[in-house]
Amino acid sequence: MKLSAQVRLAPGNSVAERIACLAEAGYEAVEVHSDAADHLDEYRSALSAAGIPAMSMCPAGRSLDLVADEYSQRRRIDQTRRALDACNDLGVTALISVPVRGSLPADTVAQDQADSYVRALEQLAPHAEAAGVTITIEPLNRYEMHLINTVADGIAIAERVGSPSVKVLADVFHMNIEEDNVPASIRAAGDWIGHVHFADSQRAHPGTGSLDFAAIYAALRDIGYAGSTALECRMRGDPAEALRQCAVHLRAARG
């Protein structure tokens, strides 16, 4: 498992400076956002200079949220295909998908939204397979999304799609709110887990809250997870120093 962090968490005046900061702080990979598709040469050059890969891509904003009206969904599917192509170009193997955010709108049926999301993923799965990218469905806690809150909810969607390129993201911050036991949920999910996000219990960087990252890493080892564990969190204090401290904490937890 590679220790990773989102490029946006690092200080710097350019992509190259931010990625170099993460490499110097001890991170072995990075997570980019989908707007990297507009700056592929810059990212390729920065990654090569730092000597670390980009392993995952997170949506920049809501442009890839796939549950929407028919016209908007067609556009969002096209934008997701472009993101998959950018992943392929950068060597990224996991594209994160959040279907919708917020509470259930009035006069809307959640099952209709789930069906719409499945149809969109079914259209995208062949493109993902050809690009060598896994679309990872991200459950969010109940205060941020009404549709998919637990890893099991995400697996239910992935099972309906039935593609090896559609799996689930385990975000331990959201899991700490929604799951009875984070390591147990990881073990129950097994190889459905295609990507992992790290933040501590209060969404600050690991080592500042109450989550047991050694137990989480043990569960990930038990299921044979071999991807990256990417920071998606707030950094407390000086960002560069916090990134270094977090890397030390997580390396000790990983063992």
Catalytic residues: 138, 232
CA 26/CA 34 separation, integer angstroms: 24
Number of C-beta neighbours around residue 217 at 10 A: 22
Backbone angles phi, psi at 234, to 5 degrees: -90, 145
CA 186/CA 69 separation, integer angstroms: 33
Number of C-beta neighbours around residue 28 at 10 A: 19
181: which residues sit within 8 A by CB, 6+ positions away? Answer: none
CA 11/CA 25 separation, integer angstroms: 11
Instruction: Indicate the angle between helix axes 40-50 and 70-90, nearest 10 degrees.
Output: 40
CA 204/CA 209 separation, integer angstroms: 7
